[in-house]
């Protein structure tokens, strides 16, 4: 390995096969997989968030899966700190760090850094959540627009999670999030003062393949116990504004358990919402690349495993990764 630390990013929309690709690479290249998905960090939602199974986790080291209680919202800053520690640990163990997920902001917190937003007081966070629950995201967007129009202009009125975050930052610091983001931030990830190098494998499968995969995954989740997971989560009576309570499938199965939706309605709604989300994810990754074009290899297929690729295609993928592992830096 070169002296400059290197990590591989495996990114793409939900149900595109990121985990299968990362696992195949980890097995062939001696990798450690680090979760970069904002929902897969939560414990108790292993089935519904499609976390790697125990058998899959036994095939290669997996980190930051199911490590956060759903009652505790995880910030990008928290995840970045955890990911930096896992990157360093993988490097020290002589393993290739493979960051795998669909949360663009997580990846960007490493490749570009994050703004120096102070710790938000609990009262500001509680007020933001209360307003969101009482008035809804559109009304919260209007309140934010009056207080912090610059940040509000960047957010969709339906994006409840980011609206709540923006409102709590303004309420807790007296400054808007956009204003904080203009301040010098942490900068790209570093190890002992040396910046990490990143290359990316980006999955961008056809829409019809994703829609079919989402439907198949939903049916598999139901067979594997997704309803029981949501039943246990609902029993905790957590704040509905918490990120885990809005994980794909949680609102729909909560409504099913409450008798407000039939199983067919819950499935249709969950698959529709997930499909809409994957479209936004794919657009984000296309227009906000995680690495330079020369450091990005795009796969236009849904990945079920490395065995689906032809010998030539596997060779291209492994050649791309190996050349980046060995390239750059000051030599071995």
* Residue 243 forms part of a structural domain: no
The answer to whether position 89 is within a domain reads yes
pLDDT tens for the chain, 332 residues: list them.
447 899 999 999 999 999 999 999 999 999 999 999 999 999 999 999 999 999 999 999 999 999 999 999 898 999 999 999 999 999 999 999 999 999 999 999 999 999 888 888 888 988 998 898 889 999 999 999 999 999 999 999 988 878 998 999 999 999 999 998 888 778 999 999 999 999 999 999 999 999 999 999 999 999 999 999 999 999 999 988 789 999 999 999 999 999 999 999 999 999 999 999 999 999 999 998 899 999 999 999 999 999 999 999 999 999 999 999 987 543 32
244 is in an annotated binding site: no
Cβ-Cβ contacts under 8 Å for 245 (sequence gap 6 or more): 70, 233, 238, 239, 251
Residues 108 and 133 placed together within one structural domain of the fold: no
User: Both 25 and 105 in a single domain?
Assistant: yes
Same structural domain, 108 and 192: yes
Residue 153 marked in a binding site = no
pLDDT at 330: 35
Query: Are both 44 and 168 inside the same structural domain?
Result: no
Q: Give domain status of residue 255, yes or no.
A: no
CA–CA separation, 131 and 110 (whole Å): 31
pLDDT for 1 equals 43
19 assigned binding-site residue = yes
Q: Is 15 annotated as a binding residue?
A: yes
**Overall number of domains in the chain:** 2
My answer on whether 53 and 176 are in the same domain is no
Residues with Cβ < 8 Å from 75, sequence gap 6 or more?
none
Rg (CA), the chain: 20
41 is a domain residue: yes
192 and 67 within one domain: yes
Containing domain of residue 159, as a range? 122-181
- Distance from the first to the final alpha carbon of the chain: 6
- Per-residue confidence (pLDDT) for residue 331, from 0 to 100: 31
Residue partners of 146: CB distance under 8 A and separation at least 6: none
The answer to whether 14 is annotated as binding is yes
- pTM for the model stands at 0.86
Assess if residue 219 is contained within a domain: no
Whether residue 54 sits in one domain with residue 190: yes
Structure tokens given for 217: 């995954």
Residues 87 and 196 in one domain: yes
- CATH number (domain holding residue 160): 1.10.20.140
CATH code at position 63:
3.40.50.300
Residue 12 annotated as binding? yes
Q: Residue 322 and residue 317: Cα distance in Å, rounded? A: 9
Q: Judge if 61 and 197 occupy the same domain.
A: yes
Residue 273 lies in a domain: no
Give the C-alpha distances (Å, rounded to integers) separating 149 from 121, 141, 146: 22, 9, 6
In whole angstroms, what is the distance from residue 18 CA to residue 29 CA?
A: 16
Q: Say if residue 77 is in the same domain as residue 157.
A: no
225 is in an annotated binding site: no
195 annotated as a binding-site residue: no
Looking at the domain assignment, is residue 293 inside a domain? yes
Domain membership of residue 300 (yes or no) is yes
Q: Which two tokens stand for residue 252?
A: 């729909």
Q: 131 and 164 share a domain? A: yes
**177 & 191 share domain:** no
């Amino acid at each position: 390995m070169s002296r400059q630390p290197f990590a591989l990013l495996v990114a793409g929309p939900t149900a595109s096969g990121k985990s299968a690709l990362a696992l195949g690479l980890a097995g062939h290249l001696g990798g450690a997989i680090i979760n970069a998905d904002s929902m897969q960090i939560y414990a108790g939602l292993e089935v519904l968030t499609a976390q790697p199974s125990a058998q899959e986790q036994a095939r290669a080291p997996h980190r930051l899966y199911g490590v956060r209680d759903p009652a505790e919202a995880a910030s990008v800053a928290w995840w970045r700190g955890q990911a930096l520690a896992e990157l360093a640990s993988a490097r020290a163990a002589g393993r290739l760090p493979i960051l795998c997920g669909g949360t663009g902001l997580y990846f960007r917190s490493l490749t570009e850094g994050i703004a120096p937003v102070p710790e938000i007081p609990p009262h500001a966070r509680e007020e933001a959540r209360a307003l969101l629950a009482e008035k809804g995201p559109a009304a919260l967007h209007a309140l934010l627009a009056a207080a912090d129009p610059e940040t509000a202009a960047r957010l969709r009125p339906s994006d409840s999670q980011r609206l709540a975050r923006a409102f709590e930052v303004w309420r807790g610091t007296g400054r808007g999030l956009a204003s904080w983001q203009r301040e010098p931030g942490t900068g790209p990830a570093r190890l002992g003062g040396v910046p990490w190098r990143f290359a990316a494998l980006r999955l961008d499968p056809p829409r019809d393949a994703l829609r079919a995969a989402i439907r198949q995954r939903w049916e598999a989740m139901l067979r594997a116990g997704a309803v029981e997971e949501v039943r246990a989560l609902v029993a905790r009576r957590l704040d509905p504004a918490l990120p885990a309570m809005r994980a794909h499938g949680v609102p729909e199965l909560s409504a099913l358990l409450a008798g407000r939706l039939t199983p067919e309605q819950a499935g249709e709604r969950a698959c529709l919402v997930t499909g809409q989300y994957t479209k936004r994810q794919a657009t984000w990754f296309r227009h906000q690349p995680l690495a330079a074009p020369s450091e990005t290899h795009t796969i236009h297929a849904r990945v079920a495993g490395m065995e689906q690729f032809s010998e030539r295609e596997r060779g291209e993928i492994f050649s791309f990764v190996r050349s980046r592992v060995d390239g750059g830096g000051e030599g071995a």
